[in-house]
A and B are shown apart, each in its own frame.
Chain A
Amino acid sequence: MSDLSVATEELPPVAPALKVSSTDVAVEMVDVNKWYGEFHVLRDINLKVMRGERIVICGPSGSGKSTLIRCINRLEEHQKGKIVVDGKELTNDLRKIDEVRREVGMVFQHFNLFPHLTILENCTLAPINVRKMPKREAEDIAMHYLNRVKIPEQANKYPGQLSGGQQQRVAIARSLCMNPRVMLFDEPTSALDPEMIKEVLDVMVGLALEGMTMICVTHEMGFARQVANRVIFMDGGQIIEQNDPVSFFTNPQHERTKLFLSQILH
């Protein structure tokens, strides 16, 4: 783990761009509770993410951090409490859920690209069919974002022909094509070989610099230090501690946080 985070620590500091100017709320969770059967995975989660904020969520495995961000676009259903995304409350109303998903991009640990479609088709599918964009325009936008993640030359290949890092960059481009207002990252680098992690993190840092609202579940502490406004530590389905990255890493308050940090930062 330590040698992985070294890669990002070498990146230049980007502090000036990280000030959150906006005061409107992108995501708000109030007393959110969730159970898997009898198992209480999320306990009284209260979280407010402002537009333009970059949140990193970390914690040991099984702490509920993935479940938390999957609740934000309702890949998981919460049983108690209130989740409001971009002004829309998530309930059983399928229309609201689709509206929210349109505005919230998500990047998964295992990329989840569609293997039967080319890279370009992966990127244009949702703009064409969900946003009803003309094919030409969707392709132009897709090429723009593929350029941004630095793989325009792969546009006509299939996902299976790309490396893991390339696939994850395509997945980011695919989400960006929908012009989302919030991006969720669910351990985007955990399934990658060490030398591919940097290329994905570079793209994420670039995105952060442009002011994208980001909520990232990741163990890349270098990334957290560099771009996060706030680091959240979860354990046992609860938010144990949250703080700005400097205070979080240098002066953790909770015993559990100290233990966790001592284990992942040598």
Chain B
Amino acid sequence: MNAPSQTFVSDVIIPAQAPPRNSVGINGWMRKNLFSTPLNSIMTVILVVFIVWAVTPFIRFTLIDATWSGADRQVCLQSSGACWAYVKAYLPQFIYGRYPIGERWRVDLVFWILVIGMVPMLIPRAPFKRLNAIFLLGIFPVAAFILLTGGHYQFAGRLIPNSIMPPSPLRFAIEFGIVSAVILFFVGLFAWLSGRPIAGSGNVVGTILAGIAAVLALCSIDFGLVPVETANWGGLLVTLVVAITGMIASLPLGILLALGRRSEMPVVRLASTIFIEVWRGVPLITVLFMASVMLPLFLPDGVTFDKLLRALIGVALFNAAYMAETIRGGLQAIPRGQYEGAKALGLGYWQMMRMIILPQSLRIVIPGIVGSFISLFKDTTLVIIIGLYDFLGQIQASANDAKWASPVTGLTGYIFAAMVFWAFCFSMSRYAAFTERRLDRGRR
């Protein structure tokens, strides 16, 4: 048994040896990834040549030949590189547009409040997520609205126009009370007809109405801020206002539409489907045109509607339709057993959705939601066609300024715009990738 196989048994212990030189380190990596076959080697060489050919002029233009400082166009006229002096001179305009210089601290304040709210929200380990979300989604929008516009709005007469009572907070309170009562009556009627608990539906709608009343009351208070019309807003401010409002509004709307489209009630399902398909079937440019040109024609005389607000509503509804379809995909991925488990425990429809179905399905569709957010962010540039000067619009407008006009001014502006947009979108994309990895680890 032992003797014949002895020859195959090693009588020394082989010490661990270093791997072949060309299989590890940079050399190894290059052999494996760049020069593994003759064809790959040729491809590598061609691509390297191409990159050098394409990137060198770009670097020359943006860095080596660029003009970094100067007072006006003279410094850029002779140069064949980017005119960063122009970007430096115009930076405040790119950020604030025509927002009055003395009031720009308000924009800064809003920005920093947003940062303070966002950072702990984005860090998974930071505590108080619920309070943080209330701050970010409840308090911040109202604070930002009051700070940016100046607040002190007069709402009386907006809901029920008449001239019996003079405009006053009391009159608005009465108007709002009447409208709320009518809404609550119909909600109650609907609940009664469909055999749902009346008190439950009434409570939900009542809470929402009370919330709206509180927000409107806050917006009507005079905080002593100078009003700044939205016509004077511009630059990155407009871009971020449109993008963030669009994101915050389109997510809950999209959830409601997605639930509506999967509802067992035919009317709700049909209405949601029609809404989604109509908005998805129309280009955003058309939506914006309709909002800015057509809508005023349909409104009665004397009723004006802020142009930026119209654009915001258009963008929010447009994106809500896309969001709804993304979220519907997530809802469909949840097994039927989850619905049945929740129902069998006696959870109502909204409880089941809020606590069981949505937490699971939203987790699945994070990549889709972020994709929508990124395209929404870039689509905000379209507001220029209705005369709103967003970041890109502001850059475009300033490039023709006689003080800075030169052959390279426009190009520099566009490169700058591209870099800023890319930075925003890329960070969103990286954050989404991080979130996905984190949630994947939690799932087994």
12 A/B residue pairs, CB under 8 Å, sorted by A: A94-B196, A95-B197, A101-B345, A112-B338, A113-B341, A114-B341, A114-B342, A116-B360, A125-B345, A126-B345, A160-B444, A175-B344
Q: Would B356 and A114 count as touching, CB distance under 8 A? A: yes
Decide if B351 is an interface residue (CB 8 Å cutoff). Answer: yes
Residues of B within 8 A of A130 (CB): 345-347, 351
Q: Would A161 and B444 count as touching, CB distance under 8 A? A: yes
Across the two chains, which residue of chain B brings its CB closest to A104?
Answer: B344
Decide if B340 is an interface residue (CB 8 Å cutoff). Answer: yes
A126 and B338 in contact, given A116-B363, A160-B443, A161-B444 (Cβ under 8 angstroms): no
Shortest 8 CB-CB contacts between residues of A and residues of B:
A112-B341, A102-B346, A126-B345, A106-B344, A112-B337, A101-B346, A160-B444, A130-B346
**Which residue of B194, B348, B355, B443 contacts A125 across the interface (Cβ within 8 Å)?**
B355
Interface mask (B310-345 → A, CB under 8 Å = 1, otherwise 0): 000000000000000000000000000110111111
Q: Would B346 and A178 count as touching, CB distance under 8 A? A: yes
A98 and B356 in contact, given A114-B341, A116-B363 (Cβ under 8 angstroms): no
- How far, in whole Å, are A110 and B339 apart by their CA atoms in the complex? 13
Residues of B within 8 A of A106 (CB): 340, 344
Decide if B359 is an interface residue (CB 8 Å cutoff). Answer: yes
Chain B residues packing against A (C-beta within 8 Å): 194-197, 337-338, 340-348, 351, 355-356, 359-360, 363, 443-444
Q: Would A116 and B195 count as touching, CB distance under 8 A? A: no
Interface mask (A107-149 → B, CB under 8 Å = 1, otherwise 0): 0101111111000000001100110000000000000000000
- The minimal Cβ–Cβ distance linking A50 to chain B, given in whole angstroms, is 22
Residues of A within 8 A of B360 (CB): 114-116
Q: Would A126 and B195 count as touching, CB distance under 8 A? A: no
- How far, in whole Å, are A110 and B344 apart by their CA atoms in the complex? 14
- The minimal Cβ–Cβ distance linking B194 to chain A, given in whole angstroms, is 8
Q: Would B344 and A73 count as touching, CB distance under 8 A? A: yes
Q: Would B359 and A116 count as touching, CB distance under 8 A? A: yes
**Which residue of B195, B337, B355 contacts A129 across the interface (Cβ within 8 Å)?**
B355
Q: Would B195 and A92 count as touching, CB distance under 8 A? A: yes
Across the two chains, which residue of chain A brings its CB closest to B363?
Answer: A116
- How far, in whole Å, are A125 and B444 apart by their CA atoms in the complex? 22
Across the two chains, which residue of chain B brings its CB closest to A161?
Answer: B444
Q: Would B340 and A101 count as touching, CB distance under 8 A? A: no
Q: A106-B340, A126-B347, A160-B444 are in contact. List 16 more A-B contacts (CB 8 A).
A: A75-B340, A94-B195, A95-B197, A101-B345, A112-B337, A112-B341, A112-B344, A114-B338, A114-B356, A125-B345, A126-B345, A130-B351, A160-B443, A174-B345, A175-B344, A178-B345
